[in-house]
Amino acid sequence: MTNPIFQNYTSPWENDELRILRDAARKFFQSEFKPKNDRWIEAGIVDRDAWFLAGEAGLLCAEIPAEYGGGGGDYRHETVIMEEMLYAGLGGFGNQVHSTIVAPYILNYGSEEQRRRWLPKMATGETVGAIAMTEPNTGSDLQAVRTTAIRQDDHYVINGAKTYISNGQHCGLVIVVAKTDPALGGRGISLVVVETDNPGFKRGRNLKKLGQHSADTSEMFFDDCRVPVTNLLGEEEGKGFVQLMQQLPQERFNIAQAAVCGIERALEVTLDFVKQRKAFGQRVIDFQNSKFKLAECKTEALVARTFVDQLLLQHLEGKLDAATASMAKYWCTQKQNEIVDECLQLHGGAGYMDEYEISRMYADARVQKIYGGTNEIMKELISRSL
């Protein structure tokens, strides 16, 4: 990408095809979604029709092969779509979970029948995807999940509760992290897909949050929820924890990329503000403190951008390891929170007002250091590589 903040920098992975996609995605999000965003924030959820519109525009499941209804691209295509979505201030639209987390689980571990059954509907927006990891008493420690999926003949009977589940109100299918053999601990974890029209499945409330107010985030309950054994992801039980560990690097890297977008957008809106706002007879940007703070932020923003761009090239080659993805997730989200805070400060009192975008960005950024594994867990994972 070529960002106006970095006049002489272009992302090394971008090409003409991706620039065409970027332009189309930008026009779509700016014209179709952004005018509705304030209403979505007030409602605490995006319109269900938004998913159909995004599907019609070819913006869902971009890296899923065309034979399963997807865009037939690679992770770069998902990146371009995500960046333009976030630059438009639409972090509440849950496509990151839907397209870059849930769909790859089905593609990589699902049977041919599962792929053909679920992926085309996800690509059109007919089905929204979610993944249920977190429980009321279990967060980053996934081996401690209590939800069970016990086999009875040709069905699994699922019992348990999940919480903080993104896309929880709209989802038509959810990948459930459950123990098929509780006696085995982490080695007894499996991933089982539940279609949400199942009578044993119940959605809880749409949870109120500090930020990301248009993102539906829900509780889920499974009460003797019976699903066919053919809904297991993978050829055998007990592979769920390994599957999670294989896919979490992409999820964490995606969070890092989102953090960099947040940094860049914060700088963009802040530069616009300080060039117009006056104090003591001069523009806010003309004060030395303002220039020095922004110089620091711009430097760290470019470091973050070049870091994630380099890791994207590694990821395309299948070489992005868990420790490096954890470094990106920890460092970029930490910098996002620090830089957005500095940018809010430069807005003065206006920065605390909800009508200014920087105020929402400040609230939205905080969860970045928590989900996908807390930054403390990221440091633990990094330390194991020392």
Identify whether 251 is a catalytic site residue. yes
Q: Are 243 and 176 in contact (CB under 8 A)?
A: no
Burial of 366: CB neighbours in 10 Å, binned 0-12, 13-18, 19+: middle
Q: Which two tokens stand for residue 254?
A: 């995606």
DSSP annotation of 211: S
Question: What is the DSSP annotation of 88-112?
Answer: TT-TTSTHHHIIIIIHHHHHHHS-H
CA distance 366 to 271: 22
Q: Are 201 and 194 in contact (CB under 8 A)?
A: yes
> 222 - beta bridge partners?
160, 201
Distances (CA, A) of 202 to 136, 137, 191, 195, 220: 16, 19, 18, 11, 6
What are φ and ψ of residue 177, in 5° steps?
-85, 115
Q: Which of 251, 264, 300, 357 is catalytic?
A: 251
Phi-psi region of 224 (alpha: psi -120 to 50; beta: other; left: phi over 0): left
The alpha carbon torsion through 8, 10, 16, 21 (nearest 10 deg) reads -120
Q: Which two tokens stand for residue 217?
A: 């985030």
The rounded Cα 58 to chain-centroid distance in angstroms is 18
CA distance 281 to 372: 46
Q: Which two tokens stand for residue 382?
A: 């990094």
Q: Are 84 and 262 in contact (CB under 8 A)?
A: no
Catalogue the active-site residues: 251
